Amino acid sequence: MPEASRERSAALTERLGVRKTYKLFIGGAFPRSESGRSYEVSGVDGRFLANAAMASRKDARDAVVAARKAFGGWARATAYNRGQVLYRVAEMLEGRRAQFAAELADAGSTAPESEVDAAVDRWVWYAGWSDKVTAVLGAVNPVAGPYFDFSVPEPTGVVAVLAPQRSALLGLVSVVAPVIATGNTCVVVASTDRPLPAITLAEVLATSDLPGGVVNLLTGFGAEIAPWLASHADINALDLTGADPALSAELERTAAQTVKRVLPAPAGEPDWTADPGVRRLAAFLETKTVWHPLGV
């Protein structure tokens, strides 16, 4: 066979890989953005990685509806059951360790394997807290009368979370896990420049035991989506961890119009490898006081 014919034959038989289509994660499903928009995601070396869906205002509203629908069942689930679900997420994430490490390397992580391990451990850590947070943050209060008086923490409701922009996996897990461990549901806006680990995490959540709508993930530009979430009357709380500093104050003012609980943006990038403590667990809990007659 002539050389030119062999080259043409090789070119015809060479297989093209199936390029992945990255979508949103809303209500346990993976819809495309209703606007049909997408944007290019590049690695730290400038190499094209993928096209990610660009969420719109309508997508954000759909995510809030899904989170509100899921809230009742998730809040009523036993704390032990929520802990089991979070532990299952850790198991699933561990099984896709290589994929997460590769995506983190593309996103510029200097120790991708270690970050995946830390993210798995963080899920396990919050899974263990699910059935202990009430005992730690609740109380039996002394009263001058024949009554018991209990302070009982309860979930706030639907929480909008602006995920960290730099820590694409460990930071993301560190802001999402405490929200759902305490019975809340959430709408998460992923890192704009590093969204691929977040989308892969959504695939993990979809194939774990987490009910649809408990976590809803949007990709795109936070500056476009966040103002609508901050003003949405059916969102109860706002986590500004990954907010643009120039936008943060305006988001707080907008959230105040509907009396939302707000976790302000930190000064600088937090050390996500440090012991997280109970601050984020307590951030989106309300305290209910219960009086009960003292039995004779």
100: in domain: yes
pTM for this predicted structure: 0.91
98: in domain: yes
16: in domain: no
39: in domain: no
CA dihedral 157, 254, 232, 239 (to 10 degrees): -40
Question: Which residues of the chain form beta strands (DSSP E)?
Answer: 38-42, 48-53, 139-141, 147-155, 158-162, 185-189, 215-218, 237-239, 261-263, 285-293
pLDDT reported for residue 115: 97
Please give the tally of structural domains in the chain. Answer: 1
Amino acid at 293: P
43: in domain: no
pLDDT reported for residue 145: 85
pLDDT in tens, 200-237: 999 999 999 999 999 999 999 999 999 999 999 999 99
Amino acid at 212: G
pLDDT reported for residue 182: 97
Q: Domain containing 188 — which CATH number?
A: 3.40.605.10
Structural domain including 96 reads: 23-29+50-293
Rg, C-alpha atoms of the chain: 22
pLDDT in tens, 241-261: 999 988 999 999 999 999 999
35: in domain: no
254: in domain: yes
pLDDT, averaged per 10 consecutive residues of the chain (296 residues), comes to: 60 71 95 94 92 96 98 97 97 96 94 97 97 92 86 96 96 98 98 96 95 97 95 97 92 96 91 94 93 77
pLDDT reported for residue 118: 97
197: in domain: yes
